[in-house]
Amino acid sequence: QVQLVESGGGSVQAGDSLRLSCVISGRTDTIAAMAWFRQGPGKEREFVARITWVGLNTYYADSVKGRFTVSRDNAKRTTYLQMNSLKPEDTAVYYCASDHFPRAIYSEFGSASAYDYWGQGTQVTVFS
């Protein structure tokens, strides 16, 4: 079992930055990767970023590439999402999730169904 708790959300102006954190508890030995998803008002949950548990392979949605950075600190059992140059369209609830199977195909790891455990989410609101 894995438990995930996100924090760091808030309300900011367009152009500002936020850093989200996801603290992981429970068994981590089976984690292959951690990811961030988001769900905006009236929208489906969408992939944002992913980082492998071993190595530093990262993947991003086109909409956030160059603005967001995913990282992890295994010693602190924490995954981060640094969000810069925020836009109103980034407004969403942000979730972290753990994947316990190694995947390298975007169509697979970009789907919420690939992830086994989820946090409760943290709200990010960006005002224009």
Instruction: Look at residue 2 in the predicted model and tell me its pLDDT.
Output: 95
pLDDT for res 113: 94
Which residues of the chain, if any, have pLDDT below 50?
Answer: none
Count how many Cα atoms sit within 13 Å of the Cα of residue 23 in the half-sphere of its side chain: 5
Task: Supply the pLDDT for residue 55.
Answer: 83
Tokens describing residue 93: 């609830």
**Predicted local distance difference test score (pLDDT) of residue 128:** 94
**What pLDDT digit, counting tens, does each position of 2-21 carry?**
999 999 999 999 999 999 99
List of residues 6+ apart from 35 with CB closer than 8 A: 47, 48, 49, 50, 51, 70, 96, 97, 98, 99, 109, 115
